[in-house]
Amino acid sequence: MEFIDYYKVLELDKTATKNDIKKAYRKLARKYHPDLNPNDTAAQKKFQQINEAHEVLIDPEKRKKYDQYGKDWQHAEEFERQKAQQQQYQQQYSGGRTGGFGGAENFGGGGFEGGDFSEFFESMFGGAQGGRQRTTRFRGQDYNAELQLNLTDVYKTQKQTLTINGKNIRLTIPAGVENGQTIRIKGYGGEGMNGGPNGDLLITFAINNDTSFKREGKNLYKDVELDIFTATLGGDLMVDTFDGKVKLNVKPETQNGTTVKLKGKGFPVYKTEGQFGDLFITYKIKIPTNLSAREKELLQELKKLQENG
Amino acid sequence: MDDQYISILEFCNCHQLEYSFIHSLTENGLIQTIIIEEDEYIEQEQLRELERIMRLHYDLEINMQGIDAINHLLNRVSRLQDEVRHLQNRLKLYED
């Protein structure tokens, strides 16, 4: 657990006044507020740090404790205990007043979500803290998650159960979802504060192409090798599509790079039941290798015929 | 009342808001309200937007004009992000 320099977070020096802290907080909050940086986890993290720094530095008691122990915060409780013992000793031997010793400051109580503060804060000021003045209801934080799927997985609508923060979420993944696309699941984010609504869960799909097809939106592309004889004379060719094999009729004298469109054999259109894009097949004509002497002879003959005719 | 609509009066009570806040939002075209039998409502779909505007206004002290400008810029960012995603996916076609 690392020490957090709250002054550095708010870009202030240690002599900063309450007004300076307020100003710095407002300025940085405007820059990193999650509403101004949607889907930006780095900004959200920074915003939490700013909030935390503000929470400590704006409260004179917390700031005092923070300033007093600084980097030695891990020994804070020990110092407090020693101080208490010393005071008790002094009281006993000076016939001092009785009772009423509270020990270390207690910042406990209140209704803050533990997840809103760093481990450092929790360790120094306790897991939850009171004295929050605002009673506004806060919507919970949005959670971001990445779900890795294969292209073959998103060809059909499917259901998956994800476990997020101990909750099982049954998720319907519509066919045709795109790489990098984000879907929002309402109410499955962080819990709201002061009775505010829960945040949302944002799932971004990272789709790995595990096929020989290339995908662009709803359309698929594939290169298919075609032997020179079928390309020249025409014929049938079996090609793989996403939902099985299809027999293609290759026209005579098909050129290298010719593309044919197979209508409706592409990828499902997102959230449009029964609609599919197209599959584009590009022929890559394969020149024969390891020809026998007889084959070479026949080709030479063909060449002569071509040249003469 | 249909679940589809939320009473502005209830919303203001719930969030301890002045009605003038909602009024200035409608005046600036940031949200739209609907009047049914003399009571004012917002559509449930607009609730998220309304809460977001509330946070910008009360947490960050951004005025209505600022919120309007932010909305335009965020929409633009979102469109550009979609375009980047689309182009990245297209680029992959040539990289693979």
User: How far is CA A41 from its chain centroid?
Assistant: 7
CATH fold of the domain at A143-208: HSP40/DNAj peptide-binding domain (2.60.260)
The verdict on a CB contact (< 8 Å) between B56 and A36 is yes
Q: Would you state the pLDDT for residue A194? A: 65
Q: Would you state the pLDDT for residue A88? A: 57
Average pLDDT over residues A51-60: 90
Return the closest-CA partner of residue A268 out of A221, A220, A223, A224: A220
A255-294 pLDDT per residue, tens: 999 999 999 999 999 988 889 999 999 999 999 999 999 9
Mutate which: A35, A205, A220, A259, vs B, most B CBs within 10 A: A35
Chain B: give the shortest CA distance to residue A127, in Å.
24
Instruction: Evaluate if residue B15 carries a pLDDT over 90.
Output: no
Reported as a pLDDT band with limits 50, 70 and 90, residue A11 is very high
Look up the CATH number of the domain holding residue B72: 1.10.1660.10
Return the closest-CA partner of residue A209 out of B38, B55, B39, B95: B95
Q: Which residues does chain B have within 8 Å of residue A217's beta carbon, measured at their own beta carbons?
A: 86, 89
Q: Report angle CA A133, A135, A141 to the nearest 5 degrees.
A: 105
Return the closest-CA partner of residue A137 out of A100, A111, A109, A102: A111
What is the number of domains present in chain B? 1
Return the closest-CA partner of residue A256 out of A286, A234, A280: A286
Helix, coil or strand: residue A302: helix
Q: Would you state the pLDDT for residue A76? A: 60
CATH fold of the domain at A214-308: HSP40/DNAj peptide-binding domain (2.60.260)
The verdict on a CB contact (< 8 Å) between B55 and A38 is no
Question: CB under 8 Å to B30, separation ≥6 — which residues?
Answer: B49, B53, B64, B67, B68, B71
Instruction: For residue A26, give the nearest of B55, B61, B90 by CB distance.
Output: B61
Q: Which residues does chain B have within 8 Å of residue A199's beta carbon, measured at their own beta carbons?
A: none
Q: Residue B45 is part of which domain span? A: 5-95
Average pLDDT over residues A225-250: 93
A66-84 pLDDT per residue, tens: 888 766 655 666 656 666 6
B62-80 pLDDT per residue, tens: 998 899 899 889 989 989 9
* Token code pair at residue B45: 């779909």
Question: Long-range CB contacts (< 8 A, 24+ apart) of A31-36?
Answer: A33/B55, A33/B56, A33/B59, A33/B60, A34/A141, A34/A142, A35/B52, A35/B55, A35/B56, A36/B56, A36/B70, A36/B74
CB pairs under 8 A between A and B: 48
Tell me whether the CATH fold assigned to A143-208 matches the one assigned to A214-308: yes
- pLDDT greater at residue A167 or residue A282: A282
ipTM: 0.72
Helix, coil or strand: residue A216: strand
Return the closest-CA partner of residue A39 out of A203, A208, A270: A203
Nearest CA in chain B to A204: B85
How far apart CA A86 and CA A105 sit, in angstroms, is 16
How far apart CA A219 and CA A179 sit, in angstroms, is 14
A170-225 pLDDT per residue, tens: 888 999 999 988 888 888 887 776 677 788 888 899 999 999 999 998 999 999 99
Total-model pTM: 0.51
Average pLDDT over residues A119-147: 64
Q: Which residues does chain A have within 8 Å of residue B14's beta carbon, measured at their own beta carbons?
A: 137
Reported as a pLDDT band with limits 50, 70 and 90, residue A42 is confident
Return the closest-CA partner of residue A226 out of A270, A297, A285: A285
Q: Where are the domains of chain A?
A: 6-125, 143-208, 214-308
> Which residue is listed with tokens 């909050």?
A29
Q: Which residues does chain A have within 8 Å of residue B55's beta carbon, measured at their own beta carbons?
A: 33, 35, 139
Helix, coil or strand: residue A132: coil
Reported as a pLDDT band with limits 50, 70 and 90, residue B2 is low
Helix, coil or strand: residue A180: coil
The verdict on a CB contact (< 8 Å) between B93 and A30 is no
For domain A6-125, the CATH superfamily is: DnaJ domain (1.10.287.110)
Q: Considering only residues 23 to 52 of chain B, which have any Cβ-Cβ distance to chain A shorter than 8 Å? A: 51-52
